[in-house]
Structure 1
Amino acid sequence: MPKGVKAAVIGGVFAVMVGGAGYAGYNIVSALNDDGGSGAASVKTGPPSADEIKEASAKFFAAWQKGQAAQAAMYTNNQTTAEPLLAAYGATAHIENVNITPGAATGATVPFTVKATVSYENKSKPLTYKSELTVVRGKTTGRALVDWQPSVLHPQMKAGDTLVTGPSASPEIEAVDRNGTVLTKERYPSLGVILDTLRQRYGDKAGGTPGIELAIHHQAEGVADTSLLTLAKGRAGELRTTISASAQAAAEKAVKKFAQSSVVAVKPSTGEVLAVANNRKDQFNAAFEGEVAPGSTMKIITAAMLIDNGVTSMNGPAPCPPSATWQSQTFTNLKGLQPNENATLANSFMRSCNTAFIKLIDEKPLTDSSLTQEAQDRFGLGQNNWKTGIVSFDGKIPTVSGPDRAANAIGQGQVQMSPLNMASVTATAVTGTFRQPYLVSPKLDDRELATAKGLSASTSSQLKQMMRLTATQGTAAQAMAGLGGDIGAKTGSAEVDGQTVSNSWFTGFRNDVAAAAMTEEGGHGGTAAGPIVAAVLRSAG
């Protein structure tokens, strides 16, 4: 966080407090805006016309360009919030000589380009970026007004964010991969937020010196500043990561083929993260922080539970009927899956038969907590103690009773995972040893990594063989086709409330690489997430 941000935030809060304290006075002013009553006999209704959109945006742009924060804010539907941010644009961010060029409106949305200069202590650099605004009708005044969002000021800003120019609190880093290749945001866009976080956490440990920059300071605690423009470079300290540049490049390319996709690859023998990529508009690192139902990829853990508790084995019985009822809730299989009352666990696993797993979860000695214990004790999940080097989610497999106990067993119900979690599950399954994934060596900051018992040699061998069958003869065969070496996989699709199409999940391994991917509303596991994982395994295996 650049120095000076505290004063800016205090100034912003003060402005809000004054607006709240002078409530009656504010109402008089806001009568010119959205919320004040004008007492007029009638006000305009309906969407703003093209002329109104052009006029409202032009007035806003003109005031903004001149640094007239109060005037510009009056052309928005939220003057109290807009004014301090517009004022800070010049005062705290030190952005001057602003020139705004609007583009052709699409409906009520007006795109525009900002060209300006950032100047701080005799150092100046040009700043150019694109953003957009939307013009709406004021609810009480009927005036055409700019719908105020922080993203109007800069497209990467969100509620609570502040633009600041000054000396950076964290020295710059030159992040490198496991072989010394430099990792940059430009070459590896998915690493942008991650590199910012690594800089915040490890900049002072990498030996660098701070520079001067324009940055977005985020309100959320622990979220790294987003650097927008460097006016004066500090000396970057080298920070070695576990990333493989070749695997990262493949991951970046693979997720671009499917919107709202995320993938993680790890090295099972060490726990090192080889690649992490996201294709999302919101910049959220869903690959590490996502909390969503994993669908049938969860059957890896459920199968381990069944084997470890002596319920069945790879070649033991796991009948696959058309439907299965658990405590009044009926579960079925994916459309087109043929029932098989004589199926083994391996057969039901490779074909991803839901009913086979539902039928077995009430067998003794299983209890409501058996799946939770298996996930925690064997796979190191759900205890909120992973220390990867950046923010990450450890998985959630709660102890439940009723229908959700059955749903959890097939990766629905209350189970939540991230691609990182499922890549780790695969790594544990194929090696028998839980090794907590990490992106930066724990030696750098003496972090204590999470531990777990892991799996017996017998259970690991059976899981690995079932995943091999799935990759060569089962639901993952099409996605994994053409991959050489020792391969295995598990598909999954997870239904989510409010979605018409299920999320696509896929996890697999090739030699000493395990990967997992998730595509929101991607459908079956082999359709979207499968090709992403296969592409990463092909490059890194």
Structure 2
Amino acid sequence: MGKRRRVAERRKTTPAVVGGVIAVVVVGAGIGAYAMYGGGSAADDGKQTAAGHGEAEKKTGPLSAAEVRTTAEGFLAAWQQGKPAVAAAATSDTAAATTLLTDYAKNAHLKDVTLTAGTAAGGKVPFSVKATVSYKGLTKPLTYDSALTVVRRGADGKPVVDWHSSVVHPELKDGDALVTGEAGTPPVKALDRDGDEMTTAKYPSLGPVLDGLREKYGETAGGSAGVELRVIRGKASKKAELSDKTLVELSKGKPGTVKTTLSPSLQAAAEKEVSKTERASVVVMRPSTGEILAVANSNHGFNIAFQGSLAPGSTMKVITSSLLFEKKLASANKPHPCPKTFTYGGWKFQNDKKFEIKGGTFKASFARSCNTAFISQAPKLKNSDLTQQAQQVFGLALDNWAVGVPTFDGAVPVQSAAPMGASLIGQGGVRMNPLNMASVASTVKAGVFHQPYLVSPSVDNRKLATASRTMSASTLSQLREVMQYTAAYGTAAEAMAGLGPDYGAKTGSAEVDNQKKANGWFTAYRGDLAAAGVVQAGGHGGDTAGPIVASLLKAGS
């Protein structure tokens, strides 16, 4: 009789989905918590010993639909009921989950939480969240979508929610926090170069840029803070230069004003261009000054254009060419080897489709993007040569740019053997983003490095980065010649058609592990404009990033 009663009680407290909403009837706190994790069925599934106690077997193999459903429902039910410790016990990281779920009510001041589970796909369960942000008499609704993934715990095979902070809110990275209160940083009103306000409604790509401007200038731009629900970044996110983010504004603060260098017409054109292609990013700047005129990304959550860290492929050959010219290892119009393959450091390098150029000049090799023309010179270079060229002439990879918002300034590490050879063609350890490569084209056009900037240094008297030396007149002349030839007759010709004669360009394709298509790159200048773009997994740069860049160079003329 006692056994039947306990089973019945457990059944009363088993989570149920009513109209997609997690609903739990709790008879007793201890029994309810037990039932959420399938206590009744777990006891029945265990081996019975002579003493009559259950001895659970470690489960292995793929999760069943019932295990996924029961685990997800139990977790969501406990969270919805405001029982963070119970919900956290159903995750792979009880401590981290307890902290964040406790803070959800305590520090984020979220109440009346309703969680609606969607249809599971394997172990992944999407769900929607409806809640109310309530702080000192101020309230606002909050709705968003998230997802959790159920996995089998290694220690005992029990199904649990694979814990990451993004389960609680998709904007959260591990180590971040949700906080509602008076925002420590006042809001800012960001203006374009003509003095008009820029918003994400008008320019969707600018979300991360506006967040960065607030973080940098909020305290000094003359505004006052309001009350907001915000994502406060933790150590890992700060290291990745992610800015705090406002999710809900309960009361408006008084914004300060920050003027930027962005061109409204070019920014609108850039937004339009990247919207046509998935995973596209682009930057436009002015070579004579360093002013950034436009920045846009297809995906609006992370600013790949400024903060991306990607192998730049053959666009890196602009920097490498300048090095070879200075070292007298190449000359634009003199014969230069371009074999089908070249082995260096134990790696066999080849050209696209193993083409070769017999009796051709270096200019021809550059225009056709011959990899072996560059790798063949690796034995004659020091391991540090390319790093020094990038830093001293092009102002890259010194982590000292002061753009006005967070940026990644490129990486060209000193390498040896095969990785050093690969770095000459933009692979190996070399990492760049469109801002970096737009700056490279700008340096060629201007003849000297001007650090890109989004906010004039006169606003806060910050010091811009400088290069320690410039290219010789001969090197600069040859570099412009090979880039102009590439724009007119080489791999960039189709994209750059009709934009000459004061122009130059370089295409690139960067191979990425476990990615079927390469990342397509393109960097170019025309008149007093320079631009660079990347289309991740797009293939050849001339076909993907090229039309985006060329369109903006034309629009800005």
Give TM-score scaled by structure 2 length. Answer: 0.83
**Residue deviations 1:356-385, cap 9 Å, x none?**
22334556xx54443333322221223232
Once residues 138 and 458 of structure 1 are traced to their aligned partners in structure 2, the CA distance between those partners, rounded to angstroms, is 64
Q: Check if 1:187 corresponds to 2:206.
A: no
Corresponding residue for residue 228 of structure 1: 247
- How has the CA–CA distance of structure 1 residues 189 and 40 changed in structure 2, closer, same or farther, with 3 Å as cutoff? farther
Q: Check if 1:151 corresponds to 2:166.
A: yes
- 1:12-31 mapped onto 2 (5 Å cutoff): none
In the alignment, residue 126 of structure 1 is paired with which amino acid?
P
In the alignment, residue 290 of structure 1 is paired with which amino acid?
G
**Residue deviations 1:380-426, cap 9 Å, x none?**
22323222122223333344443344333222233332222111111
Once residues 133 and 141 of structure 1 are traced to their aligned partners in structure 2, the CA distance between those partners, rounded to angstroms, is 20
Given candidates 355, 363, 374, the residue that maps to 1:337 is 355
Given candidates 291, 311, 324, the residue that maps to 2:342 is 324
Q: Check if 1:489 corresponds to 2:505.
A: yes
Corresponding residue for residue 81 of structure 2: 66
In the alignment, residue 114 of structure 1 is paired with which amino acid?
V
Between stretches 468-477 and 136-145, larger displacement belongs to 136-145
Once residues 401 and 64 of structure 1 are traced to their aligned partners in structure 2, the CA distance between those partners, rounded to angstroms, is 53
Given candidates 357, 376, 379, the residue that maps to 1:359 is 376
Corresponding residue for residue 298 of structure 1: 316
8 Å contact kept, 2:363–2:482 = yes
- 1:192-203 mapped onto 2 (5 Å cutoff): 192-203=207-218
Corresponding residue for residue 164 of structure 1: 179
Corresponding residue for residue 241 of structure 1: 260
- How has the CA–CA distance of structure 1 residues 121 and 465 changed in structure 2, closer, same or farther, with 3 Å as cutoff? same
Shift of 1:92: 0.8
Q: Check if 1:120 corresponds to 2:135.
A: yes
- How has the CA–CA distance of structure 1 residues 137 and 331 changed in structure 2, closer, same or farther, with 3 Å as cutoff? closer
Shift of 1:329: 4.3
RMSD: 2.9
Once residues 89 and 71 of structure 1 are traced to their aligned partners in structure 2, the CA distance between those partners, rounded to angstroms, is 14
**Residue deviations 1:43-76, cap 9 Å, x none?**
5544444344444333333332222222333343
Secondary structure class of the residue paired with 1:379: coil
Between stretches 154-163 and 495-504, larger displacement belongs to 495-504
Q: Check if 1:516 corresponds to 2:532.
A: yes
Once residues 118 and 415 of structure 2 are traced to their aligned partners in structure 1, the CA distance between those partners, rounded to angstroms, is 55
Shift of 1:304: 1.5
Q: Check if 1:284 corresponds to 2:302.
A: yes
Once residues 129 and 328 of structure 1 are traced to their aligned partners in structure 2, the CA distance between those partners, rounded to angstroms, is 52
Between stretches 473-482 and 191-200, larger displacement belongs to 473-482
Corresponding residue for residue 5 of structure 2: none
Once residues 349 and 58 of structure 2 are traced to their aligned partners in structure 1, the CA distance between those partners, rounded to angstroms, is 56
Q: Check if 1:528 corresponds to 2:547.
A: no
Once residues 365 and 416 of structure 2 are traced to their aligned partners in structure 1, the CA distance between those partners, rounded to angstroms, is 24
Once residues 355 and 256 of structure 1 are traced to their aligned partners in structure 2, the CA distance between those partners, rounded to angstroms, is 36
- 1:243-282 mapped onto 2 (5 Å cutoff): 243-280=262-299
Corresponding residue for residue 11 of structure 1: none
In the alignment, residue 333 of structure 2 is paired with which amino acid?
N
Once residues 437 and 249 of structure 1 are traced to their aligned partners in structure 2, the CA distance between those partners, rounded to angstroms, is 20
In the alignment, residue 478 of structure 1 is paired with which amino acid?
E
In the alignment, residue 384 of structure 1 is paired with which amino acid?
D
- How has the CA–CA distance of structure 1 residues 68 and 527 changed in structure 2, closer, same or farther, with 3 Å as cutoff? same
Corresponding residue for residue 443 of structure 1: 458
Once residues 32 and 535 of structure 1 are traced to their aligned partners in structure 2, the CA distance between those partners, rounded to angstroms, is 57
Once residues 327 and 85 of structure 1 are traced to their aligned partners in structure 2, the CA distance between those partners, rounded to angstroms, is 49
Corresponding residue for residue 6 of structure 1: none
**Residue deviations 1:61-114, cap 9 Å, x none?**
333222222233334343322222112111111111122222233333222221
- How has the CA–CA distance of structure 1 residues 291 and 103 changed in structure 2, closer, same or farther, with 3 Å as cutoff? closer
Once residues 260 and 321 of structure 1 are traced to their aligned partners in structure 2, the CA distance between those partners, rounded to angstroms, is 34
- How has the CA–CA distance of structure 1 residues 42 and 328 changed in structure 2, closer, same or farther, with 3 Å as cutoff? closer
Between stretches 175-184 and 242-251, larger displacement belongs to 242-251
Once residues 372 and 436 of structure 1 are traced to their aligned partners in structure 2, the CA distance between those partners, rounded to angstroms, is 18
Give TM-score scaled by structure 1 length. Answer: 0.86
Corresponding residue for residue 105 of structure 1: 120
Secondary structure class of the residue paired with 1:335: helix
In the alignment, residue 57 of structure 1 is paired with which amino acid?
A
Corresponding residue for residue 19 of structure 1: none
Between stretches 270-279 and 432-441, larger displacement belongs to 270-279
8 Å contact kept, 1:138–1:144 = yes
In the alignment, residue 332 of structure 1 is paired with which amino acid?
Q
Once residues 362 and 51 of structure 1 are traced to their aligned partners in structure 2, the CA distance between those partners, rounded to angstroms, is 61
Corresponding residue for residue 414 of structure 1: 429
Secondary structure class of the residue paired with 1:470: helix
**Residue deviations 1:496-523, cap 9 Å, x none?**
3444433222111122211112233332
Between stretches 119-128 and 56-65, larger displacement belongs to 56-65
Given candidates 361, 364, 374, the residue that maps to 1:347 is 364
In the alignment, residue 131 of structure 1 is paired with which amino acid?
S
- How has the CA–CA distance of structure 1 residues 247 and 108 changed in structure 2, closer, same or farther, with 3 Å as cutoff? same
Once residues 153 and 450 of structure 1 are traced to their aligned partners in structure 2, the CA distance between those partners, rounded to angstroms, is 40
In the alignment, residue 376 of structure 2 is paired with which amino acid?
K
Among all aligned residue pairs of Structure 1 and Structure 2, give the percentage whose two residues are the same amino acid.
Answer: 51
- How has the CA–CA distance of structure 1 residues 256 and 337 changed in structure 2, closer, same or farther, with 3 Å as cutoff? farther
